[in-house]
Amino acid sequence: MESTRQPIVLELVGRITPADVPLLCALLRRRAAGGRAGREVVCDAARLTVADLTAVEAVARLRLTARRLGRELRLANAGHELLTLLALVGLGDDDPDLPAPVSPRR
C-alpha cells in the first residue's frame, strides 16, 4: 500500500557547496529508483549550518528532481534564514489553501 511506505529522507548537513547540489539530486534519484519508497520526499534542514543561495539552489533543484520523479518534496526543520531566502527568491509558500510543504524548526 502506498500509504504505508516510508518517505525518502534527505538531510542537508553543514554548509552546502555548489558541488553538493548535483550529488544530492543524484542521491534522491537513486533512493527513488528502488520503488519501495513512498511518494513523499522529506528534505530535513535541521543540521544545515549556513543558509545561503547555494542552500536555496539545493532545495529548488531537489524540489524539481522530486517532481520529475512523480513525488512531492517537503522541507522540514528549516531555519528562519532559509525560509526567508526561499520567500525572497519566490520559492516560499504563498498559497494558504495548499498544504504547507515547508515545516519550520520547532
Domain of residue 28 covers 2-104
Split into its structural domains, the chain has a count of 1
Tell me the pLDDT tens digit for each residue of 83-105.
999 999 999 875 444 444 555 56
pTM score of the predicted model: 0.83
Q: Round to whole Å and give the CA distance between 28 and 2.
A: 18
The burial class, CB within 10 Å (0-12 / 13-18 / 19+), for 102 is buried
Query: Per-residue pLDDT for 66 more than 80?
Result: yes
Query: Per-residue pLDDT for 106 more than 70?
Result: no
Tell me the pLDDT tens digit for each residue of 34-48.
777 788 999 999 999
One-letter amino acid for residue 92 of the chain = G
Q: Please state the rounded mean pLDDT for residues 49-59.
A: 97
Length of the chain: 106
Task: For residue 96, give the CATH number of its domain.
Answer: 3.30.750.24
